[in-house]
Chains A and B, each alone.
Chain A
Amino acid sequence: MPESGTEEIQADPGRFLDAASALVGLPVGAEDRPLVIENLRVLSSMAALVMQDLADDDVEIAPVFRA
């Protein structure tokens, strides 16, 4: 398995979609499938840029929740 999974999704987005769709509980209609796959390709190419160099351990995500 590649580090970020982006290469695997690029290679076979349909397989990823089938697995993720079941996990999320979100069926994908046949009419949407090609465009969802196209969007997954775009998202995984974006993720490849984001995941190329992971942030240091002390970098938190920006909080908006206030107790």
Chain B
Amino acid sequence: MNGANSALDIADAVRTRQTTVTAVVQSTLDRIGQHNTALNHFSEVLANRALARAAALDIRVDAGEDVGALAGVPFGVKNLVDIEGLPTIAGSIINRDRAPAQHDSILVKRLEAAGAVLVGALHMGEYAYDFTGRNAHYGPARNPHDTTRMTAGSSSGVAGAVAAGLVPLSIGSDTNGSIRVPAAFCGLFGLKPTYGRITRADSFPFVASLDHMGPFARSVADLAAMYDLMQGGDDRDPACVGSVDVVGDALTEGVDDLRLAVAGGYFARGARLEVTAAVASVAKALGSNDLVEIEGAERARAAAFLITAVEGANLHLGRLRERAADFDPEVRPRLIAGAMVPGSWYVEAQRYRRRFRAGVLSTFRDVDVIIAPTAPLSAPRLDQVTMELDGRDVSIRAHMGIYTQPLSFIGLPVLNVPVAVDGMPIGVQLIGAPWNERALFRVAAHLERLGAVRAPIASLG
């Protein structure tokens, strides 16, 4: 067994002594070694650490101890997550000069406390300002379903490694869609939880107002198992509320009592026909004929865009002054432009969050889960810089988040489900009211049982 197996199957096999953690980890490291040069998903492979931890877990298993729900499960983290002994590079070369992290991220600790084994750090777009998976310093992460195409970003290798079966689970971050769009392009289940649900402590930030951490997996059960372990309070993140709602028991509840609707208006415009068809197929599988309008979504997206530009630029202002030449040339101009934005635009964008949130919350009085496209198209080619949107040629980096940005703007929980299609994967967003991740997991699990969504491992050459 290795990263190509499901997390829960691995844990079960370890607990029942059908395999050892060492065997799982060694096979996973072998698989990573075989494919990572071509795919470029791992930026750092922690072979010694992982094998040492595996050996320690095996001793505990041999002694009859239950080492946890993710016993022996290998996982990776976006390289903005702290790993003891490594500088947290966040996709940059500048951060290689930072002091090594003195301890693991609390999220790594929570997963490892449940028996999981960290095997490495994963590729990302520089400083998370990316929707492409390209990185001038480290090369592009490649979509394992077609290595000439994008993984999307900024959680590029984070999604790619799970889709390739290098690991069954990974931790990413999402500011404007950086979990959901890579999950869509790579054909995975990916959750952006409610803002404040999961701590961002021990990770390199991008936009404090909008940053979220979240899990990727190839099955809803694996995603739920990981998400349940990631939850918990953390005073070091001022946004973290500490509210915990375990969802693992919700997956068999069905959807009969849930009110489901497809997002119309803004979310029904601009997408390619195959994306629209994917949304329709999910709605059909769920028997949902209702449409709902999320009023103000276009303006919300614009406000999220401004907040991202301003907070991201301010975070990096010192580095832009002192080390401009060391930035990715595709990222630097966006950050510089963000540094020039008038303060009144930013404050008004922040104030609009209140108004938009109030409107959306009233929408959720009549519906539990809203269905919408994740991205306007499937994965573009790696060298593609622009895409057509509403008849105009626009920048992929700037505009791939048109359907994801309005939602993270007000911190709604969103789960990307991979629609079963021929050709490149297509993602659909399941959107819930704040703190109602449970409903999203119920719908995703139901769709998975129906066969309407699935996340097959990419066929690697």
CA of A46 to CA of B307, assembled, Å: 11
- Whether B349 contacts A50 by the Cβ 8 Å rule is yes
Q: With A50-B306, A61-B350 given, is the CB distance from A20 to B340 under 8 Å?
A: yes
Cα A24 to Cα B352 with chains together (Å): 26
Chain B at the A interface: mostly helix, strand, loop or mixed? Answer: helix
B354 within 8 A of A: yes
- The digit string for A23-67, where 1 denotes a CB below 8 A from any CB of B, is 011101101100110111011011101111011000111101110
Which 8 residue pairs of A and B lie closest in terms of their CB atoms, listed nearest first? A39-B337, A35-B333, A61-B350, A20-B340, A46-B302, A49-B302, A55-B351, A47-B345
- In the bound complex, do residue A21 and residue B340 qualify as a contact, i.e. CB atoms below 8 Å apart? yes
Residues of A at under 8 Å CB distance from B? Answer: 4-5, 16-17, 20-21, 24-26, 28-29, 31-32, 35-36, 38-40, 42-43, 45-47, 49-52, 54-55, 59-62, 64-66
For A36, the chain B residues whose CB sits under 8 A away are 333, 336-337, 340
Place the interface of chain B in its size category.
35 or more
B349 touching A28 by the CB < 8 A rule? no
Residues of A within 8 A of B317 (CB): 24, 26
The reply to whether A31 and B347 form a contact with Cβ atoms under 8 Å apart is no
Contact B306 A55 (CB under 8 A): no
Pairwise interchain contact A66-B352, C-beta atoms closer than 8 A:
no
Tell me the nearest residue of chain B to A28, going by C-beta.
B336
B336–A60 touching, CB < 8 Å = no
- CB neighbours of A31 from chain B (8 A): 329
Asked if B298 and A49 make an inter-chain contact with CB atoms under 8 angstroms apart, the answer reads: yes
Nearest B residue to A64 by beta-carbon distance?
Answer: B238
Task: Name the residue in A16, A25, A61 with the highest tally of chain B Cβ atoms < 10 Å from its Cβ.
Answer: A61
- Subset of 10 A-B contacts with CB under 8 Å: A25-B321, A26-B339, A35-B334, A39-B309, A39-B338, A39-B398, A47-B306, A49-B299, A61-B353, A64-B208
